[in-house]
A and B are shown apart, each in its own frame.
Chain A
Amino acid sequence: MITRPDDLPEEELLLSGTRSCAGCSMSLMYRTAIKALGKNTIITVPASCLTVLHGLYHKQSVLVNVIHTTFETTAASASGIVAALEALGLDEKITVVGFAGDGGTSDIGIQGLSGAAERNTNFIYACYDNEMYSNTGTQRSGQTPYMAYTTTTPHGKLEHKKNIPMIMLAHNIPYIATTCASYPLDVFNKFTRAKQFKGTRYIHVLAPCPPGWGYPTHESIEIGKLAVRTGIFPLYEIIDGKMFLSKESEPYLDPRKRLPVADYLKKQGRFKHITQQHIDTYQEYVNGQWDFISKML
């Protein structure tokens, strides 16, 4: 486990000058994650902002092998890579990772993900969650939070986020973690830990998106931290079914320590239209989420 920024490996596997927006936290979490994964990795990526980050044919912005797959097939594609490596006797040497957006994970890709996890396929599935279909112009996804504006929920989404980590827990996989791009050390440590397990490992990374969420580019880190400090996005690990709250989220088990959700919501254009009543509903939802977590600990 590393604890300081300069403990991170110096070698960059993400090469400067990518196509992602200025201030993209997905880019940051990906840069950090592949430092942890290392060169002996085959990554498979479905249609998403991450496809674009990898660059247009014939150039690529990363120093790892990447198989682009169709939108809904991340986990199936990873299953194929894993099977091939097993057949070639290279599965101990090469890590297989599926890296998908929240739409590719929790909506169109959930069948494949569930299948791969049920088979306990030996790979890491990472979902970077920018809470919308960013690549196609910020439409609603199953991960879009309550009351967020998207182009297909112009008055705000009426439902809460789908809890994918808990769905993954129901698959009895050995390792589940949530993390946030704003905490690169946590991202690095969790990918490093995930690498040590065999079987299906699931990492859910909250990745604030400046154009999609409506905040200035320099606030990407701050916004993600607010998601954690308000308790909206708890960081934890679940190892063999047992939940451990990460130190970034530990204080917020105590409701008095949590910042009011409004501190987070009011900084983002996508929540511009919300009323006090919505804020109250949101706060109740977050409190309920923590009641659930406290029972799991």
Chain B
Amino acid sequence: MTSGGKQEAEDASRPVPPARETLILTGNHAASFAVKAARVQVISAYPITPQSPVVEKLSEFVEDGELKARMIRVESEQSAMASLISASTTGTRVFTATSSHGLSYMHEQLAWAAGTRLPVVMCIVTRAIGAPWSVWPDHQDAVSERDTGWIQIFCEDNQEIYDTVLEAYKIAEDERVYLPVAVCYDGYILSHTLMPVELMSQAEVDKFLPPFKSHLMLAMSMDDPVGVNPVTVPEPREGFPAYMELRHRMQKALEGAAAVMEEVEAEFAKVSGRHHGGAVRSYRLDDAEVALVGMGSCSSQAKVAIDDLRAAGIKAGVLTVRLFRPFPKRQIREVLKGKKVVAVFDRDVAYGLEGALCAETKASLYGIPDPPYVHGFIVGIGGRDFTTENAIEGTRLAVERSRNREIHDETTWLNLMEGE
């Protein structure tokens, strides 16, 4: 199925690989292959478990000459993101990956990247945040960064990681968006698990993803110098926007990003034959009365419970939230309206409130007639197993509480040790 692109013609002396290849890859390596295919120009990263293999693989690609990129082996995650902000501003496509404390350490830079409206792409290999130390998966790291202005997409398998990284560049570099994108996937559960991943041919990727462009390309306009990110003041001056207007434009871009993501997915589907559902993905929801809601590994586990739930007489299906930021309120409302019960499984806690996904799902349903009851469950924190039994248990509890019209202000945690 090769279209014989320019790149392939140039490499005619080399043995031509089959146009598409299916490799057995970990989630981390699936990300690395996508970054290579995207012809990223600058990579800057710092090691942390479970992200490290993404960058180790990329180092091999770069040192073997398979990827013509500059690799900055920075001394911290803060520097990783700071260097990419400037590399992107200078005019290059950039990539990093991190987890947990590395992500927290980037916090200030995340806000800076978004505020500069830079199409930076990062993988967040999700992991718990200390204290105490835990290298195991949950979503606390990614979820804690939800207010920085990044687009956040959660993946459920390794193919989706590969595809989403490619889509992420296309979304980020869309003029209507110009925002950084985080591709999030569960540490170990995906990052270190082998799965078959179909890689696109380079010609296909090049066609889907044209060379980098952005609103800031400083190196290309040396004769028209500018300053990026100076001090702003509270009120507009001489008709120019002030900080508040610029932040308003950022929010507007986020509000429109879900639609762009859906467009990009449709285009990607045409090339690849794969479509991941856009902002949200439904599994056996059409006839369902009960919806289990989750992101990443939570939704995978929820799906496994559906047969048992249905066998037990609970007509259940799963809503996978892929796009966590911008939060797809409309899509969620459309899918969940008419359902009776919603059980949200959060692998994170908006501490002092409840699971972040649960709170936001509730907020999305506000104001619709006859909204479903929404009950949240905290699961799988710090790598604790989130089992099929837990999913069933939570769903049953949700159904029961809905029947009794109970409202629980306190959180319910599943699979805690006995007596806790």
What residues make up the interface of A, taking CB atoms closer than 8 Å to B? 39-40, 42, 44, 51-52, 54-58, 60, 62-70, 72-73, 75-81, 83-88, 90, 94, 111-112, 114-116, 118-119
Given the complex, which residues of A lie within 8 Å of B237, measured CB to CB? 56-58
What does the 1/0 interface line of B212-230 toward A look like (CB < 8 Å)?
0000001101110111111
Q: Which residues of A contact B73 (CB under 8 A)?
A: 119
Contact A84 B78 (CB under 8 A): no
Q: List 25 A-B contacts (CB under 8 A).
A: A42-B219, A57-B240, A60-B225, A65-B225, A65-B226, A66-B230, A67-B218, A68-B227, A76-B83, A77-B85, A78-B86, A79-B44, A79-B83, A80-B42, A80-B83, A80-B88, A80-B94, A83-B92, A84-B92, A84-B219, A88-B91, A90-B219, A112-B75, A116-B79, A119-B72
- Alpha-carbon gap, A89 to B252, bound state (A): 36
* CA–CA, A80 and B92, complex, Å: 10
Which of B44, B86, B233 has a CB less than 8 Å from the CB of A69? B86
Determine if A51 and B228 form an interchain contact, defined as CB atoms under 8 angstroms apart: no
Q: In the complex the two chains form, is A79's CB within 8 Å of B231's CB?
A: no
- In the assembled complex, B87 has its CB within 8 A of some CB on chain A: yes
Other A-B pairs, 5, CB within 8 Å; known A69-B112, A79-B83: A66-B230, A76-B78, A77-B86, A84-B219, A112-B76
Q: How far does the alpha carbon of A75 sit from the alpha carbon of B78 in the complex, in Å? A: 11
Contact A84 to B91, CB < 8 A, known contacts A63-B225, A64-B225, A68-B228: yes
The answer, yes or no, to whether B70 is at the interface (CB within 8 Å) is yes
Residue contact A70 to B108, C-beta cutoff 8 Å: yes
Closest to B220 in A: A88
Cβ–Cβ < 8 Å partners of A72 in chain B: 78
B305 at the A/B interface (Cβ < 8 Å)?
Answer: no
Q: How far is the CB of B106 from chain A (nearest CB, A)?
A: 11
Q: Is the CB of A42 within 8 A of B82?
A: no
Closest Cβ of chain B: how far from A225's Cβ, in Å? 32
**Chain A contacts of B41 at CB under 8 A?**
84, 87-88
Q: B83 to chain A: which residues have CB within 8 Å?
A: 76-77, 79-80, 83
Q: Chain A residues near B42 (CB, 8 Å)?
A: 80, 83-84, 87
Residue of A whose beta carbon sits closest to that of B238: A58
- For A118, give its contact among B44, B75, B92, B221 (CB under 8 Å): B75
Contact present for B232 and A56 (CB under 8 Å): yes
For window 380-400 of B, CB contacts with A under 8 Å fall at none
**B226 to A: closest C-beta gap in Å:** 6
Determine if B227 and A115 form an interchain contact, defined as CB atoms under 8 angstroms apart. no
Is there contact, CB below 8 Å, between B82 and A86? Answer: no
Chain A residues with CB under 8 Å of B229's CB are 67-69
Give the contacting residue for B70; candidates A44, A56, A69, A84; CB below 8 A. A84
Task: Name the interface size band of chain B.
Answer: 35 or more
Most interface-central of B41, B82, B85, B109 (chain A CB within 10 A): B82
Please give, as numbers and ranges, the residues of chain B lying within 8 Å of A84 by CB-CB distance.
Answer: 41-42, 70, 86-88, 90-92, 219
B226 in contact with A60 (CB, 8 Å): yes
Q: Quick check: is B299 within 8 A (CB to CB) of the other chain?
A: no
Per the 8 Å Cβ criterion, residues 122-177 of B in contact with A are none
State whether A60 touches B74 (Cβ < 8 A): no
A44 to B57, CA, bound (A): 31
- With a cutoff of 8 Å between Cβ atoms, the chain A residues found around residue B184 in the complex are none
Residues of B within 8 A of A42 (CB): 90, 218-219
Task: Tell me, yes or no, whether B378 is within 8 Å of chain A by CB.
Answer: no
Give 1 or 0 for each of B94-111: 1 = CB within 8 Å of chain A CB: 100000000000001100
Say whether A83 contacts B72, CB under 8 Å. yes
- Contact (A44, B76) CB under 8 Å given A56-B231, A65-B225, A88-B219: no
- Known interface pairs A77-B85, A87-B42, A115-B74; A55-B230 also in contact (CB < 8 Å): yes
Instruction: Knowing A39-B225, A84-B91, A87-B70, say if A77 contacts B219 (CB, 8 Å).
Output: no
| CB-defined contacts of B109 to chain A, threshold 8 Å | 70, 73
- Docked Cα-Cα span, A77 to B84, in Å, equals 8
Q: Which residues of A contact B84 (CB under 8 A)?
A: 80
| B69 located at the interface, meaning its Cβ lies under 8 Å from any Cβ of chain A in the complex | yes
Chain A residues whose C-beta falls within 8 Å of the C-beta of B301 in the assembled complex: none
Is B82 a contact of A76 with CB atoms below 8 Å?
yes
Nearest-neighbour CB distance to chain B for A242, whole angstroms, equals 27
B221, closest chain A residue (CB): A65
A70 touches B74 (CB 8 A): no
B74 and A76 contacting across the interface, CB-CB below 8 Å? yes
B32 at the interface (CB under 8 A from A): no
